[in-house]
Amino acid sequence: MPNLILASTSPRRLEILRRAGLEDLRVVPPEVEENIRPNASPEEAAAYWSREKALSVMSDGDDVIVGADTVVWHDRRILGKPVGADEAREMLRQLSGDWHKVYTGVTVLHNGQTRTEVEITRVLMRPLTEAQIDAYVRTGEPMDKAGAYGIQDRGALLVERVEGDFYNVMGLPLYRLSRMLEQAGLYLLGD
Protein backbone atom coordinates (compact mmCIF):
# COMPACT_ATOMS: atom_id res chain seq x y z
CA MET A 1 0.00 0.00 0.00
CA PRO A 2 1.37 3.46 -0.85
CA ASN A 3 2.28 5.98 1.85
CA LEU A 4 0.15 9.10 2.23
CA ILE A 5 1.67 12.58 2.46
CA LEU A 6 -0.54 15.54 3.36
CA ALA A 7 0.85 18.76 1.85
CA SER A 8 -0.68 21.10 4.41
CA THR A 9 -0.16 23.17 7.53
CA SER A 10 -3.83 22.87 8.46
CA PRO A 11 -4.49 21.07 11.74
CA ARG A 12 -8.11 20.61 10.61
CA ARG A 13 -7.15 18.63 7.51
CA LEU A 14 -4.93 16.37 9.59
CA GLU A 15 -7.75 15.94 12.13
CA ILE A 16 -10.21 14.94 9.37
CA LEU A 17 -7.83 12.29 8.02
CA ARG A 18 -7.13 10.93 11.49
CA ARG A 19 -10.87 10.73 12.22
CA ALA A 20 -11.17 8.67 9.02
CA GLY A 21 -8.63 6.19 10.40
CA LEU A 22 -5.49 7.41 8.62
CA GLU A 23 -3.00 7.43 11.47
CA ASP A 24 0.00 6.48 9.35
CA LEU A 25 0.58 9.56 7.24
CA ARG A 26 3.24 12.22 6.94
CA VAL A 27 2.51 15.93 7.02
CA VAL A 28 4.81 18.12 4.92
CA PRO A 29 4.25 21.89 4.84
CA PRO A 30 3.89 23.02 1.22
CA GLU A 31 6.37 25.54 -0.14
CA VAL A 32 3.91 28.03 -1.66
CA GLU A 33 2.89 31.60 -0.95
CA GLU A 34 -0.90 31.72 -1.19
CA ASN A 35 -2.32 34.79 -2.87
CA ILE A 36 -5.76 35.23 -4.35
CA ARG A 37 -5.32 35.30 -8.12
CA PRO A 38 -7.06 38.28 -9.76
CA ASN A 39 -10.06 37.39 -11.91
CA ALA A 40 -9.92 33.70 -10.93
CA SER A 41 -13.21 31.96 -10.32
CA PRO A 42 -13.52 30.24 -6.94
CA GLU A 43 -13.19 26.83 -8.66
CA GLU A 44 -10.03 27.92 -10.46
CA ALA A 45 -8.48 29.42 -7.32
CA ALA A 46 -9.18 26.38 -5.12
CA ALA A 47 -7.99 23.93 -7.80
CA TYR A 48 -4.86 25.96 -8.60
CA TRP A 49 -3.68 26.27 -5.00
CA SER A 50 -4.43 22.65 -4.13
CA ARG A 51 -2.31 21.60 -7.13
CA GLU A 52 0.50 24.01 -6.27
CA LYS A 53 0.61 22.75 -2.68
CA ALA A 54 0.76 19.11 -3.76
CA LEU A 55 3.38 19.76 -6.44
CA SER A 56 5.60 21.64 -3.99
CA VAL A 57 6.13 18.50 -1.90
CA MET A 58 8.79 16.07 -3.06
CA SER A 59 8.45 12.36 -2.40
CA ASP A 60 10.09 9.07 -3.20
CA GLY A 61 8.62 5.96 -4.71
CA ASP A 62 4.97 5.10 -4.50
CA ASP A 63 3.84 7.93 -2.19
CA VAL A 64 0.41 9.50 -2.60
CA ILE A 65 0.48 13.27 -2.04
CA VAL A 66 -2.67 15.20 -1.14
CA GLY A 67 -2.94 18.98 -1.42
CA ALA A 68 -6.04 21.01 -0.64
CA ASP A 69 -7.15 24.62 -0.64
CA THR A 70 -10.41 26.18 0.52
CA VAL A 71 -11.98 29.49 -0.47
CA VAL A 72 -15.26 31.11 0.47
CA TRP A 73 -17.33 32.75 -2.29
CA HIS A 74 -19.82 35.45 -1.40
CA ASP A 75 -21.32 38.30 -3.41
CA ARG A 76 -19.15 37.48 -6.47
CA ARG A 77 -15.97 37.73 -4.40
CA ILE A 78 -13.43 35.30 -2.95
CA LEU A 79 -12.97 35.61 0.79
CA GLY A 80 -9.62 34.17 1.83
CA LYS A 81 -8.02 34.18 5.25
CA PRO A 82 -8.44 37.53 7.00
CA VAL A 83 -5.41 39.71 7.62
CA GLY A 84 -6.19 41.01 11.08
CA ALA A 85 -9.22 41.33 13.31
CA ASP A 86 -10.76 44.24 11.37
CA GLU A 87 -10.84 42.25 8.13
CA ALA A 88 -12.28 39.23 10.00
CA ARG A 89 -15.08 41.43 11.37
CA GLU A 90 -15.81 42.81 7.91
CA MET A 91 -16.01 39.31 6.39
CA LEU A 92 -18.37 38.14 9.11
CA ARG A 93 -20.58 41.20 8.58
CA GLN A 94 -20.77 40.35 4.88
CA LEU A 95 -21.67 36.71 5.53
CA SER A 96 -24.15 37.47 8.33
CA GLY A 97 -27.68 36.29 7.48
CA ASP A 98 -26.72 35.22 3.96
CA TRP A 99 -25.79 32.19 1.90
CA HIS A 100 -22.24 31.65 0.65
CA LYS A 101 -20.37 28.81 -1.02
CA VAL A 102 -17.29 26.98 0.19
CA TYR A 103 -15.01 25.59 -2.54
CA THR A 104 -12.25 23.14 -1.71
CA GLY A 105 -9.83 22.02 -4.37
CA VAL A 106 -8.25 18.63 -3.75
CA THR A 107 -5.25 17.33 -5.67
CA VAL A 108 -3.91 13.79 -5.49
CA LEU A 109 -0.49 13.04 -6.97
CA HIS A 110 0.54 9.42 -7.50
CA ASN A 111 2.96 7.73 -9.89
CA GLY A 112 3.37 10.84 -12.02
CA GLN A 113 -0.38 11.41 -12.37
CA THR A 114 -2.12 14.53 -11.08
CA ARG A 115 -5.84 14.57 -10.42
CA THR A 116 -7.62 17.69 -9.17
CA GLU A 117 -11.28 18.03 -8.24
CA VAL A 118 -13.33 20.75 -6.52
CA GLU A 119 -16.12 20.22 -3.98
CA ILE A 120 -18.77 22.93 -3.45
CA THR A 121 -20.93 23.31 -0.34
CA ARG A 122 -23.58 25.96 0.35
CA VAL A 123 -23.67 27.49 3.83
CA LEU A 124 -26.22 29.80 5.42
CA MET A 125 -24.82 31.95 8.21
CA ARG A 126 -27.21 33.13 10.88
CA PRO A 127 -27.78 36.88 11.29
CA LEU A 128 -25.07 38.17 13.62
CA THR A 129 -25.01 41.18 15.92
CA GLU A 130 -21.89 43.32 16.26
CA ALA A 131 -21.46 41.94 19.79
CA GLN A 132 -21.54 38.36 18.46
CA ILE A 133 -19.04 39.20 15.72
CA ASP A 134 -16.70 40.88 18.22
CA ALA A 135 -16.97 37.97 20.66
CA TYR A 136 -16.16 35.45 17.93
CA VAL A 137 -13.22 37.45 16.59
CA ARG A 138 -11.81 37.69 20.13
CA THR A 139 -11.61 33.87 20.24
CA GLY A 140 -8.90 34.02 17.55
CA GLU A 141 -10.62 31.29 15.53
CA PRO A 142 -11.24 33.40 12.40
CA MET A 143 -7.63 34.32 11.79
CA ASP A 144 -6.41 31.28 9.83
CA LYS A 145 -9.63 30.35 8.07
CA ALA A 146 -11.12 31.26 4.72
CA GLY A 147 -14.18 33.45 5.25
CA ALA A 148 -13.09 34.17 8.84
CA TYR A 149 -14.88 31.25 10.50
CA GLY A 150 -14.36 27.60 11.29
CA ILE A 151 -17.44 25.38 11.42
CA GLN A 152 -15.83 22.73 13.61
CA ASP A 153 -15.42 24.81 16.78
CA ARG A 154 -17.29 27.83 18.13
CA GLY A 155 -17.91 28.92 14.56
CA ALA A 156 -20.57 26.18 14.41
CA LEU A 157 -22.73 28.60 16.40
CA LEU A 158 -22.64 30.98 13.42
CA VAL A 159 -23.99 28.48 10.89
CA GLU A 160 -27.71 27.97 10.41
CA ARG A 161 -27.63 25.42 7.55
CA VAL A 162 -25.20 23.42 5.42
CA GLU A 163 -26.11 21.95 2.03
CA GLY A 164 -23.44 19.50 0.96
CA ASP A 165 -20.32 18.00 2.50
CA PHE A 166 -19.78 19.23 6.07
CA TYR A 167 -16.11 18.21 5.93
CA ASN A 168 -15.70 20.42 2.87
CA VAL A 169 -16.52 23.42 5.06
CA MET A 170 -13.84 22.22 7.49
CA GLY A 171 -11.36 22.19 4.60
CA LEU A 172 -11.21 18.65 3.21
CA PRO A 173 -14.15 16.94 1.46
CA LEU A 174 -13.66 13.47 2.85
CA TYR A 175 -15.99 11.52 0.56
CA ARG A 176 -14.51 13.05 -2.60
CA LEU A 177 -10.97 12.52 -1.31
CA SER A 178 -11.70 8.88 -0.45
CA ARG A 179 -12.82 8.24 -4.05
CA MET A 180 -9.69 9.94 -5.39
CA LEU A 181 -7.44 7.93 -3.05
CA GLU A 182 -9.09 4.68 -4.14
CA GLN A 183 -8.04 5.48 -7.71
CA ALA A 184 -4.46 5.72 -6.38
CA GLY A 185 -4.75 2.33 -4.63
CA LEU A 186 -5.31 3.67 -1.09
CA TYR A 187 -8.57 2.36 0.39
CA LEU A 188 -9.93 3.96 3.57
CA LEU A 189 -12.60 1.26 4.02
CA GLY A 190 -10.78 -1.66 2.43
CA ASP A 191 -11.02 -2.74 -1.19
pLDDT score at 148: 97
For the ranges 5-9, 17-21, 117-121, the lowest mean pLDDT is seen at 17-21
Tell me the pLDDT band of 191, cut-offs 50, 70 and 90. low
Tell me the pLDDT tens digit for each residue of 23-67: 788 999 998 877 766 788 999 999 999 999 999 997 777 889 999
Q: Does 131 fall in a domain? A: yes
- Per the domain annotation, does 146 fall within a domain? yes
79: how many CB neighbours lie within 10 A of its CB? 25
Catalytic residue among 24, 63, 69, 86, which?
Answer: 69
**Residue 178 placed within a domain:** yes
- The radius of gyration of the chain from alpha carbons, rounded to an integer in Å, stands at 17
191 domain-assigned: no
Instruction: Show the DSSP H helices in the chain as ranges.
Output: 11-19, 42-55, 85-95, 130-138, 166-170, 174-183
Based on the structure, what is the number of domains in the chain?
1
CATH code of the domain in which 152 resides:
3.90.950.10
- Decide if 123 is inside a domain: yes
Q: What was the pLDDT predicted at 183?
A: 87
Mean pLDDT value across the chain? 92
Domain extent for 110: 4-183
Residue 69 is among the residues annotated as catalytic for this protein: yes
Is 188 part of any domain? no
Position 143 in a domain: yes
Check whether 167 has a pLDDT greater than 90: yes
Residue 189 counted as domain residue: no
d(CA 104, CA 50): 8
Q: Would the pTM of this model clear 0.85, i.e. be above it?
A: yes
